Amino acid sequence: MRKRIQRTLVAVALITALLMCVLVTGALYLFVSNQLRSELMQTAATLGSMLLKQEDPVAFLSGGVYAERVTLVGADGTVLYESSRSTEGMDNHLSRTEIDEALTRGEGFAVRNSSTLGEARLYYALRLDSGMVLRVSGAQRTLLAMLLGVLGWILAGAVACVLLAVLLARPLTARLVKPINAIDLDHPLESDAYEELTPVLRRMDSQNARIAAQMERLTAQHNELDAILGSMREGLVLLDRRHIVLTMNAAACRLLQVEDNPIGKTMLAVTRSDELVKLLDAGMGESDMTLGGRVLHVSISVVEEGGMCILFQDVTDRTAAEESRRQFSANVSHELRTPLTTVSGYAELLSEGLVKPEDTREMGSRILRESRRLLTLIEDIIRLSRLDEGVTRELSGCDLKAIATACREKLQKLAEEKQITVTVTGTPRMVTGDRVLLEEMITNLMENGIKYNRPGGHVEVTVEQRGNRPQVTVQDDGVGIPKEHQPHVFERFYRVDKSRSKQSGGTGLGLSIVKHGALAHHAEIELQSEPGRGTRISLLFPPCQA
Ligand code: ADP
């Protein structure tokens, strides 16, 4: 812009200089012409008045010396006197414009180019009272000649102007541009720039406001999207067609164990998982893959221009739950088959009359025992299924001591059979819970204390307050549980001593029910056991709200 302004300034200076020179020369030319004209008029008037007094004007004129060329022409156009040469051979002058005009109007002017280049001649003719015409003429330089004459000056002036313009252009341009450069583009209306720029600055200001509003909207949308992506439990990754990461939300970073910024890197570089890259190469589809010990369900869909959108879901727990359900079903069918096979075997023998009458009683009691086992098993399975489904019965304030006392009464017969002493001590402690479930949990613990014990053994149930939390503890001095089995005894169908469990009518589900019951009551379980010395299991309930 600066250069352009500078160039324009120099050009304007040059043109102005040239124009001025031409105009001045033109004015000079007019002035000189007018000067000459009035000189000629004055000479003609003076000579004319002198000639009037002369009898022989030709003789009078011939005796004088004139700065201008003087001609005397008769009324018929004959040249009577010519100061510059002899009149001999001169043609009739009636055809001359100035002579013709003088004869008709009294005076006449004419300008004719002379034979000399660059010179013109101005003629003034005056009709005398005698009828003759006195003509005076003088030479004058033509306009072109004058121009050529002052050409040197014109050029010198133009050069001077250009030099001046060049010298002034830079500071002038800088002064001109300074307020424009000083405009604050963020707040254009606050700038003290040229008035002519006000419409542009207003427009700029309104555009600024529009851009700011759009930016605000975009930022809000961006933040909203970030919040949605950030709060998603599923991992979301967007890739371009070269598998370069465009977006990866927080859940995806967590699931894929990505710590550094993944944007702009390839998926292989980010995850180091060949399994995932194979899935990506295969294109759209769904599949499970393992990464860092977790099972991830991967859904891949192709988006615009060959890019990909990948959704990751952590299905480790779901897979584990499915596996445990599968195992549970297998165990259930196995556990059910054993007593059923026994029952149907004995029943077959009986129905075919292959049993001796004296053995009928024994066989009947075996069928009864196995049927009871089956029943208990089915009841336990139903209980666990209910707990799995989260089916809770009505919650109420329950006294743990009262429940433990009721359980002891229920198990009194079994305890007597096994010669075990069962005692319940402590103070009444209230918890908010499912009475039936609490009863089942405490019964299972006490029953285990009786079953896995020696004749003469003891089971002691203590109900007490630990801090602000109610606690019930079942302690026996029975066979105990070896250390390596302790972490597993709460698993379904897990038995330390299979034959002993079965012999005593155990289903392998008692402690599982205790575990799920504790979970449902937000209670903690503590297990301490030593083989040969006994087992102690505590249920620590949350502080009672009621
Ligand atoms: P079960 O019906 O076989 O008793 P549980 O789930 O109640 O099943 O117990 C799982 C296993 O833990 C039992 O088979 C037994 O081996 C062991 N166990 C449970 N309670 C005791 C205890 N008080 N003393 C010794 N072993 C026990």
> Would you say the CB of residue 459 lies under 6 angstroms from ligand 1?
no
> Would you say the CB of residue 450 lies under 6 angstroms from ligand 1?
no
- For the whole model, what pTM was predicted? 0.55
Ligand 1 atom 25, closest CA: 480
> Would you say the CB of residue 57 lies under 6 angstroms from ligand 1?
no
> Would you say the CB of residue 449 lies under 6 angstroms from ligand 1?
yes
> Would you say the CB of residue 535 lies under 6 angstroms from ligand 1?
yes
> Would you say the CB of residue 506 lies under 6 angstroms from ligand 1?
yes
**Distance, C-alpha 495 to centroid of its chain:** 60
Q: Which of 443, 452, 539 best tests ligand 1's pocket when mutated (most atoms within 8 Å of CB)?
A: 452
> Would you say the CB of residue 188 lies under 6 angstroms from ligand 1?
no
pLDDT digits (tens, 9 = 90+) for 345-402: 999 999 998 889 898 999 999 999 889 889 989 998 998 888 888 776 788 999 999 9
Q: What is the DSSP string of 70-139?
A: EEEE-TTS-EEEETTS--TTPPP-TTSHHHHHHHHHSEEEEEEE-SSTTEEEEEEEEE-TTS-EEEEEEE
The Cα 431–Cα 400 span in angstroms is 7
Q: Smallest Cα–Cα separation from 136: which of 80, 72, 79?
A: 72
What is the chain's pLDDT, residue by residue, as a tens digit (546 residues)? 778 877 887 788 888 877 887 788 788 888 888 888 898 999 999 988 888 888 888 888 888 888 888 999 998 999 999 988 888 888 899 999 999 999 999 999 998 886 666 788 899 999 998 889 999 998 887 777 777 877 788 788 778 878 888 888 788 888 888 888 888 888 888 877 788 888 888 899 999 999 999 999 999 999 999 899 889 999 999 999 888 999 999 999 999 989 889 999 998 888 888 888 888 888 778 888 888 888 999 999 988 778 899 999 999 998 888 888 888 889 888 889 988 999 999 999 999 988 898 989 999 999 998 898 899 899 989 988 888 887 767 889 999 999 999 999 999 999 999 999 999 999 999 999 999 999 999 999 999 999 999 999 999 999 999 999 999 999 999 999 999 999 999 999 999 988 877 777 788 999 999 999 999 999 999 999 999 999 999 999 998 755
Direct distance between the N- and C-terminal alpha carbons of the chain, in angstroms, rounded to an integer = 86
The pLDDT, as a whole number, for residue 177 is 81
> Would you say the CB of residue 444 lies under 6 angstroms from ligand 1?
yes
Q: Which of 376, 495, 507 best tests ligand 1's pocket when mutated (most atoms within 8 Å of CB)?
A: 495
Cα(496) to centroid of ligand 1, in Å? 7
Structure tokens that stand for 507 in this block: 């289903």
Structure tokens that stand for 138 in this block: 């003088």
The pLDDT, as a whole number, for residue 12 is 85
> Would you say the CB of residue 510 lies under 6 angstroms from ligand 1?
yes
**Number of C-beta neighbours around residue 259 at 10 A:** 6
What does the buried/exposed string (b/e) look like for 402-421 if buried means 16 or more CB atoms within 10 Å of the residue's CB?
bbbbebbeebeebbeebebe
